[in-house]
Amino acid sequence: MIPRKTAWIALGLAVLLPDRVRAEQSSPPQPVPAVDYMIVVTGGELLMGVYPDSHTQFLTRTLFPLGLHCVGSISVDDRREDIQQALRFAVSRARLIVVTGGLGPTENDVTREALSEFTGIALKEHPDVLRDMAQRFKVGPDQLRANLRRQSQVPEGGSYFKNSGGTAIGLVFEDPRAVVVALPGPPRELQPMVREGLVPYLSRRFGTRKPGCSLTLRFVGLGQSQISQTIDDNHLLPAEVIVSSQFEGGRVDYTFALRADTPQDRARLEDIKRQVLKHLGDNVYAEGTTSLEEHVAELLEKQNATLTLAEVGSGGALAAGLGGAEGARRVLAGAYFAPTEEKLRGLVGASEEAGNTGASGGPRLQLLASAVAARTGSQWAVAVGEVQQKDGGLAVEAVFRFPDGRMESHRFGLRGSDPSARSHLTTQLLDQLRRKLR
């Protein structure tokens, strides 16, 4: 799924693919000084495969429309010598370096000290940062633990960015070789800091253009190439529109941007949205940042309905996704997971009849869907069966129970057994559910 903006282990890596950048023809923008930058992502977990590098994707996607050019991204361990070696390479390539991670209070958070040593710029407690941190923990400055107080240090002669979601402020080292910016690692802290602190700073420091207006449409059930082909075949975009896209787990985001942000520009984006929806609207589930899970929850809430889940082949991923969505507490009546249908029947107290039909998965899953709906009193229910070998591949059958008691069965292909395959299956299940809820 498209990663939420909270800390979690992603099921797959979103990929940013700038589809086209068209030069403005009717009213060329004023020349903007080219700014090359490099990204240094710190974190031993990245090198062990625990987390994907989502920072590079977010930073490049955010800074590209501002006229900044990323010439490379490096991932390194949380060690001073590794960080400094990466910095030595980076300053030979770019005049702006963005470093992420390692600004927290633990022993392996060494980015602040590594940058200070590399640039020769000393660190000094900032009274405003110290005061804000003390207020955050409701103690006096002298009562702050040493590891927390260390986070109030900023570069002498440099600046810092406030952190609206945590204690690790962003740091700016004005080195003669390059400007080095350090950002916290958690996405929920880094991303607001980039938008609220880094982007305005870059405009002041490098004269980069301010963000224009943009529109993001979120697709499901279509591949990226098919969406792009439909847009091109129907000539839906003016030449000056900047388009970028990212995909993951069967979901695709397309962002359409203009360099300026005027009422006329926003009206043009609205017209683009109308045209895209005319041709692809059945596969657009949301605009902006609303996730597929949040959209399904909204549809349920509009019907004043609740949903219960019974999962085997999806491994509880459907419940995990919906459970974290805004509004889930109001619409998710219950969720049951077991490694086999037999154990799931025992878990929900389904009748023996459900296990002795001798039929294919459909009737058994229908009885399970009815059982969990009755158990929780929910109007909707989804029962996901076991993974089966079908036609040389893996497949999962699912039953959708409607409020009037009707049942619909669907079979979904499963692309292996890794987390990304389960993520894609979850997307297919949610897509079917949203179509039935409309």
Residue 8 and residue 148 in one domain: no
Q: Contact at 8 Å (CB) between 272 and 242? A: no
The residue from 145, 175, 206 where one domain ends is: 206
Residue 65 and residue 93 in one domain: yes
Residue 320 and residue 244 in one domain: no
Residue 265 and residue 398 in one domain: no
| Residue 411's CATH number | 3.90.950.20
Residue 169 and residue 82 in one domain: yes
Residue 11 and residue 37 in one domain: no
Tell me what pLDDT residue 352 has: 52
Tell me what pLDDT residue 98 has: 98
Number of domains in the chain: 3
Q: Which amino acid is at 192?
A: P
Residue 24 and residue 38 in one domain: no
| Residue 49's CATH number | 3.40.980.10
Q: Please give the C-alpha separations between residue 234 and each of 25, 229, 276, 280, 284, in angstroms, as whole numbers.
A: 20, 8, 9, 11, 17
The first and second tokens of residue 234, run together, are: 């129907």
Residue 157 and residue 55 in one domain: yes
Residue 297 and residue 430 in one domain: yes
| Residue 224's CATH number | 3.30.70.2860
Q: Which domain holds residue 326?
A: 292-437
- Is the overall model pTM greater than 0.85, yes or no? no
For 205, counting Cβ atoms within 10 Å of its Cβ (0-12 exposed, 13-18 middle, 19+ buried), the class is middle
Q: Which residue has the tokens 């940062």?
A: 129
The first and second tokens of residue 202, run together, are: 């870059």
Q: Which residues pair with 188 in a beta bridge?
A: none
The residue from 179, 206, 233 where one domain ends is: 206
Q: Which residues pair with 40 in a beta bridge?
A: 74, 99
Residue 268 and residue 331 in one domain: no
Runs of H (alpha helix) within 222-378: 224-233, 263-280, 292-302, 317-323, 328-331, 341-348, 361-376
Q: By C-alpha distance, which of 254, 251, 183, 225 is closest to 11?
A: 251
Q: Helix or strand or coil: residue 122?
A: coil
The residue from 155, 179, 206 where one domain ends is: 206
Q: Contact at 8 Å (CB) between 202 and 179? A: no
Q: Contact at 8 Å (CB) between 413 and 421? A: no
DSSP 8-state code for residue 90: H
Runs of H (alpha helix) within 8-126: 44-47, 54-63, 80-91, 111-119
Residue 303 and residue 401 in one domain: yes
Q: Which residues does the chain have with pLDDT short of 50? A: 1-29, 354-360
Q: Which residues pair with 389 in a beta bridge?
A: 394
Residue 102 and residue 244 in one domain: no
